[in-house]
Structure 1
Amino acid sequence: MLGQIRSHQLENVLLAVVRYFGGTLLGASGLGTAYKSAALDAIQHGEIITLSRNVYFKLTYSYPMEKYLVSWITKWMVWLWKKHMLNKLVL
């Protein structure tokens, strides 16, 4: 299963394969082959969902700091929800 994950260049992934025992002993190589083919089938026919973690915070700062924060926001690809321009800026 790990080989299939690596060959498809997936990272931070959960791949679950459930095998019900049907009375036939497959042995170590048979189990490996069964799990490998099940993993490949799951990757090829399953839906890959990309999740992202969001952190929300409020930042209040003075105008002279804006050039530094704009640089930081660009570097870290921060998504701005709101920006208020008062005596002080609020993100």
Structure 2
Amino acid sequence: MKTIKKPVQIEINIKKSQFICSLYPTKNKAESKEIINELNQKYNDATHNCTAYIVGDGEGFDDDGEPGGTAGKPMINVLRKKELHNITAIVTRYFGGIKLGAGGLVRAYSKSVMEAVGQAEIVEIEEYDVYKITFEYSDIKLVDTEVRNNQLEAIDKEYSDKVSYQVVSKDNRNIEKIFEKYSGKISVIFENKQFLEKI
């Protein structure tokens, strides 16, 4: 599965109308809506803020006042054609006084997303089981050795009264089994499933 590594924004001008396309990596509808709301506020003086998203729990698009089927649908079609997932696209339009017609709008919104995708860094993502390992500071060396020897990846580390690692397995092996010999000493809890850059 493919997505973009980080947000990207491009700007194009077509017949005096300004089109700003913003792409964001997003995991779910809640994240998409949050970003869409942020950009609606940022560009609240724009003529239109059209959107399209494909995320883990669904997909959708919105023409935001443009004639039906001329903005959101062409945008989501580009994302589908490029086989992108976990992504939200917002195209902000400032009307320049010259009407583009239905065909012109479809081309303008498609082109905006195409150009933004062309500027983005595309990465492969996979769904991984994420585990939280909690242990004493005195066991850091031991845990680091097990992580390395079992080809695990620590995606986050937290140091407070105890040490906590968020870890994933390259082949999605059951991480609890790796650490069961340290039962009582090292706590391993399955946290969630996450789409992460392929490791």
TM-score, normalised via structure 1 length = 0.56
In the TM superposition, residue 15 of structure 1 has moved relative to its aligned partner by 1.0
User: Residues 78 and 114 of structure 2 are in contact (CA less than 8 Å); yes or no, is this contact kept in structure 1?
Assistant: yes
Question: What stretches of structure 2 of length at least 5 have no aligned partner?
Answer: 1-74, 135-167, 189-199
**Distance in 2 (alpha carbons) for counterparts of 1:27 and 1:47:** 32
The Cα offsets for residues 20-78 of structure 1, whole Å up to 9 and x where unpaired, read as: 1000111111111100000100100134576x8x966579xxxxxxxxxxxxx87x827
Question: What stretches of structure 1 of length at least 5 have no aligned partner?
Answer: 60-72
CA distance 1:79–1:15, shift in 2 (3 Å) = farther
Work out which structure has the larger RCO, using CA pairs closer than 8 Å and 6 or more positions apart in sequence: 1
Residue of structure 1 in register with 2:99 after alignment = 25
Higher normalized strand content (fraction of residues): 2
In the alignment, structure 1 residue 90 sits paired with structure 2 residue 187: yes
> Which of residues 160, 169, 172 is equivalent to 1:77?
172
> Which of residues 79, 83, 98 is equivalent to 1:9?
83
> Which of residues 25, 38, 49 is equivalent to 2:112?
38
In the TM superposition, residue 3 of structure 1 has moved relative to its aligned partner by 1.6
TM-score, normalised via structure 2 length = 0.29
Structure 2 residue identity aligned to 1:7 = K
Calculate percent identity across the aligned residue pairs. Answer: 32
Q: Show the 5 A alignment for 1:37-76.
A: 37-48=111-122
CA distance 1:57–1:34, shift in 2 (3 Å) = same
Structure 1 residue identity aligned to 2:93 = R
- State the secondary structure of the residue aligned to 1:10: coil
For the pair shown, which has the larger CA radius of gyration, 1 or 2?
1
Length, aligned pairs only: 75
